[in-house]
Structure 1
Amino acid sequence: MKTLILTNRVPFPPNSGYPIVVYNTIKGLLKLGVDITLFSINPRKYSVDVDDIYDSVFDSIKFHSFNLDTDVNVWGALLNVFSNQSYNVSRYFDEDAGRLLEDILKETEFDIIQFEGLFVVPYLDIVKANSNAKVIYRAHNIEYDVWERLALRERFTPRRTYLEFLARRLKHYETEQINRFDQVFAISEPDRQSILRLGCETAMEVFPVALDFEKYITDPAKTSFPTLFHLGAMDWLPNKEGLEWFLDEIWPDIEKLNSELRFYIAGKNMPREFFEYDSENVVVEGEVFDAVEFINSKSIMIVPLLSGSGMRVKIIEGMAMSKCIIATSMAAEGIKCQHGKDILIANTADEFYRSILQCITNPKKWLEIGRNARKTVERDHDINVISERMLKVYQKLISA
Structure 2
Amino acid sequence: MSNPVNKRVLMVCPSFPVIESGAEQMDRADGIRQLVRLGCEVVIIAKIVEWADRGAIERTAREMGVRVVPVPYRYSNRKLSPSERVWKFLGKFRNPLYFDGAAYEYAEPGIRAALARELKEFRPNVVWFEYTYLWPLYRLVRRAGVSIITRSNNFEPVHFLEEGGYTLFNYLKFVPKFLGEIITASLSDALLAITPKEERLYRKLGARRTGVLPLRSLPRFLASPLQNIREHRPLNVFFMGSSYSVTHNEAAAEFFLRQIIPKANRRAPGEFAFHILGAKLPDGLVRAAQQEGCHYEGYVQNIQEFLSSMDVALVPSLMGAGMQQKVFEPIVRGIPTITSRRAIAGYAYASGREFIAAKTADEFVEALLQLRSVSRRKELSLSARSRSETLFSQQALDAIVRDALSSL
1:204 matched to 2:210? The reply is yes
The 8 Å contact of residues 92 and 119 in structure 1, kept in 2 or not, is answered as no
Counting matched residue pairs gives 386
> What's the CA shift string for 1:302-341, capped at 9, x where partnerless?
2211112222223222122110111001212232111111
**Distance in 1 between residues matched to 2:270 and 2:104, nearest whole Å:** 48
Q: Secondary structure at the match of 1:70?
A: coil
Q: Which residue of 2 aligns with 1:274?
A: 285
Of 251, 268, 278, the residue aligned with 2:261 is 251
Tell me by how many angstroms 1:56 deviates: 8.6
Q: Which residue of 2 aligns with 1:67?
A: 72
**Distance in 2 between residues matched to 1:305 and 1:272, nearest whole Å:** 21
- Name the stretch that deviates more: 212-221 or 306-315: 212-221
TM value normalised by structure 2: 0.84
**Distance in 1 between residues matched to 2:104 and 2:281, nearest whole Å:** 24
Tell me by how many angstroms 1:378 deviates: 0.6
**Distance in 2 between residues matched to 1:392 and 1:73, nearest whole Å:** 42
Q: Secondary structure at the match of 2:407?
A: helix
Amino acid at match of 1:244: E
Identify if the C-alpha distance between structure 1 residues 67 and 366 changes in structure 2 by more than 3 Å, giving closer, same or farther: farther
Tell me by how many angstroms 1:43 deviates: 4.3
Tell me by how many angstroms 1:348 deviates: 1.0
Q: Which residue of 2 aligns with 1:238?
A: 248
Tell me by how many angstroms 1:300 deviates: 1.0
Map 1:150-165 onto structure 2 (within 5 A).
150=163, 154=165, 160-165=167-172
The 8 Å contact of residues 10 and 48 in structure 1, kept in 2 or not, is answered as no
> What's the CA shift string for 1:158-180, capped at 9, x where partnerless?
x7222323323311221233201
- Name the stretch that deviates more: 89-98 or 215-224: 215-224
Q: Secondary structure at the match of 1:270?
A: coil
**Distance in 2 between residues matched to 1:380 and 1:235, nearest whole Å:** 30
Tell me by how many angstroms 1:215 deviates: 4.0
Of 299, 303, 321, the residue aligned with 1:287 is 299
- Name the stretch that deviates more: 206-215 or 385-394: 206-215
Amino acid at match of 1:31: R
Q: Which residue of 1 aligns with 2:41?
A: 35
Tell me by how many angstroms 1:377 deviates: 0.9
TM value normalised by structure 1: 0.85
Tell me by how many angstroms 1:95 deviates: 2.4
Q: State the Cα RMSD in Å.
A: 3.0
The 8 Å contact of residues 323 and 367 in structure 1, kept in 2 or not, is answered as no
Identify if the C-alpha distance between structure 1 residues 293 and 117 changes in structure 2 by more than 3 Å, giving closer, same or farther: farther
The 8 Å contact of residues 86 and 173 in structure 1, kept in 2 or not, is answered as no
**Distance in 2 between residues matched to 1:274 and 1:31, nearest whole Å:** 43
Tell me by how many angstroms 1:134 deviates: 0.8
1:18 matched to 2:32? The reply is no
Identify if the C-alpha distance between structure 1 residues 193 and 288 changes in structure 2 by more than 3 Å, giving closer, same or farther: same
**Distance in 2 between residues matched to 1:313 and 1:110, nearest whole Å:** 31
Q: Which residue of 2 aligns with 1:186?
A: 193
Q: Which residue of 1 aligns with 2:148?
A: 135
Q: Which runs of 5+ in 1 are unaligned?
A: none
Tell me by how many angstroms 1:282 deviates: 2.6
Q: Which residue of 1 aligns with 2:3?
A: none
Of 124, 137, 150, the residue aligned with 1:110 is 124
Identify if the C-alpha distance between structure 1 residues 107 and 82 changes in structure 2 by more than 3 Å, giving closer, same or farther: closer
Q: Secondary structure at the match of 1:200?
A: coil
**Distance in 1 between residues matched to 2:358 and 2:257, nearest whole Å:** 15
Tell me by how many angstroms 1:136 deviates: 1.1
Amino acid at match of 2:238: F
Amino acid at match of 2:382: R
Map 1:1-400 onto structure 2 (within 5 A).
1-43=7-49, 49-52=53-56, 58-68=63-73, 70-71=76-77, 79=89, 83=93, 84=96, 85-90=98-103, 92-93=105-106, 94-129=108-143, 131-150=144-163, 154=165, 160-197=167-204, 199-210=205-216, 211-213=218-220, 215-218=223-226, 220=228, 226-233=235-242, 234-256=244-266, 257-259=268-270, 261-277=272-288, 278-359=290-371, 361-397=372-408
Identify if the C-alpha distance between structure 1 residues 349 and 88 changes in structure 2 by more than 3 Å, giving closer, same or farther: farther
The 8 Å contact of residues 326 and 352 in structure 1, kept in 2 or not, is answered as yes
**Distance in 1 between residues matched to 2:71 and 2:234, nearest whole Å:** 45
Identify if the C-alpha distance between structure 1 residues 204 and 335 changes in structure 2 by more than 3 Å, giving closer, same or farther: same
Amino acid at match of 1:344: I
The 8 Å contact of residues 225 and 298 in structure 1, kept in 2 or not, is answered as no
Tell me by how many angstroms 1:133 deviates: 2.1
Q: Which runs of 5+ in 2 are unaligned?
A: 1-6
Amino acid at match of 1:226: L
The 8 Å contact of residues 216 and 320 in structure 1, kept in 2 or not, is answered as no
